[in-house]
Amino acid sequence: MSFGPIMRFTVGELQIEMAPLSREVMGEFIQPGMHQASVGRYLGHHAAFVLEDEQEWFDRTRVDQTSIVWGLWLAEGDARTLIGNSALNAITTDHIRQATTGSLIFRKDLWGKGIASAAHKARTWYAFHELGLHRIMSAVYQGNEGSLKALTRSGYELVYVERNTAFIEGRLIHQDNLACLNPNDPFWGQWWHGERPSKRALEARQRTLEALAWAEANVTLA
């Protein structure tokens, strides 16, 4: 595993590509990206990262057999510009197949344009369609409304709140822990094994089905 295959989609007029990273591009995460407090704030980072940090992260990721990571690239003609990343981490293939998820867009001028939502949908489709996972999970610090909305639109639903997990801008912050269930049978039935899903779970299932339908229609797996 380690790096995911190329996936392409369009957000408005923007051409986005999810593709493997290389050690040579790690510097693009740094300036101005991870040097900005506003970028690292809701990642739980209080220190600015330097090139060596990103290179060490790449080296660890390259050999991690429990993760699939994509760089997020803005494609403009023949040019590709790195703008962030997206990942499935801690993938397990026991009786319940699941993973945790994470993402970052370090280009602040591209926030709020729907890129994160589209990337989540593409990643969700890959997790369920290609890997056959039952569940993917994510966590968001309260106050990070953009990330919460992007995940919710992909079918994630709040599972529980973990109190006082971070200290951001002078106050303690709670963490929302979310999950997205594979809505397709037999995975859906295996998860519930005869129990009646709640109304919120059924609503989340419908959003996930819509996210997967969007991906089927709009994501190209190279």
For residues 123 and 27, give the distance between their C-alpha atoms in angstroms, rounded to a whole number: 24
Q: How far is CA 21 from CA 25, 37, 99, 102, 138, in A?
A: 7, 24, 20, 16, 22
CATH superfamily name and code, 2-221: Gcn5-related N-acetyltransferase (GNAT) (3.40.630.30)
- Give residue 42's pLDDT: 63
Copy the structure tokens of residue 46. Answer: 């209080």
pLDDT digits (tens, 9 = 90+) for 128-186: 999 999 999 999 999 999 999 999 999 999 999 999 999 988 999 999 999 999 999 99
pLDDT digits (tens, 9 = 90+) for 77-90: 889 999 999 999 99
Q: What is the mean pLDDT of residues 33-44?
A: 72
The confidence band for 95, taking pLDDT boundaries of 50, 70 and 90, is confident
For residues 113 and 134, give the distance between their C-alpha atoms in angstroms, rounded to a whole number: 29
Query: Rounded mean pLDDT of the chain?
Result: 93
